[in-house]
Amino acid sequence: MVGIVPADALTDEREKLEEWLSRGFHGEMRWMERDREKRTNPRVLFPCARSVVVVAVNYYTPQKHSNSNDTGKISRYAWGDDYHDVVSEKLKALLAWIKEEFPSAEGKVCVDIQPMMDKVWAARAGFGWIGKHTNLITQDFGSWVFIGELILNLELEYETETIDEHCGTCMLCIEACPTNAIVEPFIVDSNKCISYATIELRTEILPDEIVSNQDGWLYGCDICQDVCPWNRFQKVTEEKRFEPRERNVNANLEEIFNLTQEEYAARFRRSAIKRAKLSGLKRNALALRLSKISDQDSE
């Protein structure tokens, strides 16, 4: 999906961001507190910005998780190659082509790492709407998309239509979240989120509330997307690099425990799973092992 919108400041979204931060819902993600101007105004991030080319890339593949006691589930987005690399490569190629056509063109590629509110820009570009679980929902691919932007110094023709929110009265994602992290429609408290805890949190042990509701997740969590009715429109991606690597749908817990730093670096090279670091993966695996033992004892 591709859409082009003016590089205007996100005034309303800035207010929502400030409120979310003031409630402490970002947990220990301190970088969310920094660069607020850049995060909500592309002309602060890239002073000559005039247009934002927004892209979304489908990453869905049909493999299913196992509920084996010996393994931990990995979020679908991390099954294949790191999306930062894949989407950045595509956007850099697009920028190179634009520069050939328009020698005066300058641009900045943004894929998650840069302070851009990706889902907001995708909604502005007419891709879909931000659902009650706070993921972008598209009518073409459901929510299984990666988002990126190319900020340009060129005035272009812009999208004029957006898509209204179509969650309606559905509450499935809110009801399905085992930790009640979706504290109200369209608002997630990261402190309660399994994905946040298993990927971003840097504590030596996971919070008790997460461990008791971990539901087999080693890295990330897809529950709110798995139950979303709009994901019946999911389509298998044509990008081969998003197909699962070996042992990346479910990871064997014993293998994770025994990984050396060198083995970890080799196994997860160019993988989004690096984000959790080896210590984080081992912490998550230990929590899973203990919770599974506890479940067996209670039976």
Percent of the chain clearing pLDDT 90 (strictly above): 95
Average pLDDT over residues 124-143: 98
CA dist 141 to 58, 83, 129, 137, Å? Answer: 7, 17, 12, 8
Q: pLDDT class for 291, splitting at 50, 70, 90?
A: confident
Average pLDDT over residues 109-138: 97
Contact criterion met (CB below 8 Å) for 177 and 223: yes
Q: pLDDT class for 297, splitting at 50, 70, 90?
A: low
pLDDT for res 283:
97
Cα dihedral 141, 51, 36, 164 in deg (nearest 10): -40
Q: pLDDT class for 294, splitting at 50, 70, 90?
A: low
Q: pLDDT class for 287, splitting at 50, 70, 90?
A: very high
Q: Tell me whether residue 112 is one of the annotated catalytic residues.
A: yes
Q: Coil, helix or strand for 6? A: strand
Predicted confidence (pLDDT) per residue in 110-122, tens digit:
999 999 999 999 9
Q: Of all helices (H) and strands (E), which one includes residue 151?
A: strand 145-152
Does 60 have pLDDT greater than 70? yes
pLDDT for res 234:
95
pLDDT for res 98:
98
Percent of the chain clearing pLDDT 70 (strictly above): 97
Contact criterion met (CB below 8 Å) for 224 and 249: no
The answer to whether the pTM exceeds 0.85 is yes
Rounded to whole angstroms, the Cα distance separating 57 from 89 reads: 12
Helices then strands, counting H and E runs in the chain, come out as 12, 11
Strand 71-74 and strand 250-252: pairing?
antiparallel
Predicted confidence (pLDDT) per residue in 223-278, tens digit:
999 999 999 999 999 999 999 999 999 999 999 999 999 999 999 999 999 999 99
Q: pLDDT class for 298, splitting at 50, 70, 90?
A: low
Q: pLDDT class for 295, splitting at 50, 70, 90?
A: low
* DSSP state letter for 106: -
pLDDT for res 15:
96
pLDDT for res 290:
84
Predicted confidence (pLDDT) per residue in 172-182, tens digit:
999 999 999 99
The residue with tokens 């890239």 is: 46
Q: Coil, helix or strand for 128? A: strand
Does 61 have pLDDT greater than 70? yes
pLDDT for res 296:
57
DSSP 182-246: EEETTEE-GGG-HHHHHHT---SS--HHHHTT-TTEEE---HHHHT-GGGGG----S-GGGSPPT
Q: Which of 35, 81, 112, 215 is catalytic?
A: 112
pLDDT for res 73:
98
Q: What is the mean pLDDT of the chain?
A: 96
Average pLDDT over residues 145-173: 97
Average pLDDT over residues 32-40: 92
Ordered by start, the domain boundaries in the chain are 2-63+82-152, 172-298
Structure tokens belonging to residue 268: 């997860």
Rounded to whole angstroms, the Cα distance separating 214 from 25 reads: 19
pLDDT for res 188:
98
pLDDT for res 35:
87
Structure tokens belonging to residue 296: 């067996």
Q: What is the CA radius of gyration of the chain?
A: 20
212 CB-contact burial (10 Å; exposed 0-12 / middle 13-18 / buried 19+): middle
Strands (E), 22-135: 51-58, 71-74, 107-110, 128-130
